[in-house]
């Protein structure tokens, strides 16, 4: 195993702080949508978001602990960066597709970030690599659940005539 350099430790702390901030932002947005969504088919999405809030908080706690162990500072509210534009509340509380697409995008972003952390830590910081891989697995599972739900909702929207087949084909999951 190669030694962890000061530069690598600082880079890992920075990446962990970014992930910590994103997890807390995800909690805020999932909480918002778990309350704001409305309509006949919204309850299933609301329930899944509410359940995922606990998972995302657990991720934030694990990240905070690793930041501390590495000698970093766990960011306070004024140091947190917000950038989840895709999960912001919509004026249309019935827009399940907007919410689910936002969740899939958030999960994909987290997956990419945890892969980067795992790669950076490989061979030098096994506990950080292990944490990143564990969180990566959780995020991949969340993405899979919501991507499947997105296909169902889009198919229902197409069947009802509210969405064109071409709109669905232009999306990737």
Phi, psi (degrees; rounded to nearest 5) at 103: -65, -45
List, in order of start, the domains of the chain with CATH numbers: 6-169 (1.20.1260.10)
What DSSP character marks residue 3?
P
Q: Report the 10 Å Cβ neighbour count for 27.
A: 18
Q: How far apart are CA 27 and CA 34, in angstroms?
A: 10
pLDDT in tens, 87-110: 998 889 999 999 999 999 999 999
pTM of the model: 0.89
Q: Which residues contact 11 (CB under 8 A, 6 or more apart)?
A: 120
pLDDT in tens, 38-53: 998 899 999 999 999 9
DSSP secondary structure letters along 59-113? HHHHHHHHHHHTT-----GGG-----GGGSPPS-TT-HHHHHHHHHHHHHHHHHH
């Amino acid at each position: 195993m190669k030694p962890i350099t000061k530069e690598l430790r600082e880079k890992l702390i920075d990446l962990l702080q970014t992930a910590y901030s994103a997890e807390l932002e995800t909690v805020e947005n999932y909480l918002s949508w778990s309350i704001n969504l409305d309509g006949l088919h919204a309850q299933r999405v609301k329930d899944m978001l509410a359940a995922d809030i606990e998972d995302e908080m657990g991720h934030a706690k694990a990240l905070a602990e690793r930041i501390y162990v590495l000698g970093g500072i766990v960011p306070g509210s004024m140091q947190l960066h917000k950038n989840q534009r895709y999960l912001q509340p919509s004026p249309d509380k019935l827009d399940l597709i907007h919410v689910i697409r936002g969740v899939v995008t958030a999960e994909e972003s987290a997956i990419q970030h945890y892969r980067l952390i795992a790669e950076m830590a490989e061979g030098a910081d096994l506990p950080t690599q292990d944490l990143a891989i564990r969180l990566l697995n959780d995020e991949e599972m969340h993405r899979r659940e919501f991507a499947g739900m997105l296909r169902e909702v889009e198919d229902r929207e197409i069947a009802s005539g509210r969405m064109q087949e071409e709109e669905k084909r232009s999306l990737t999951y």
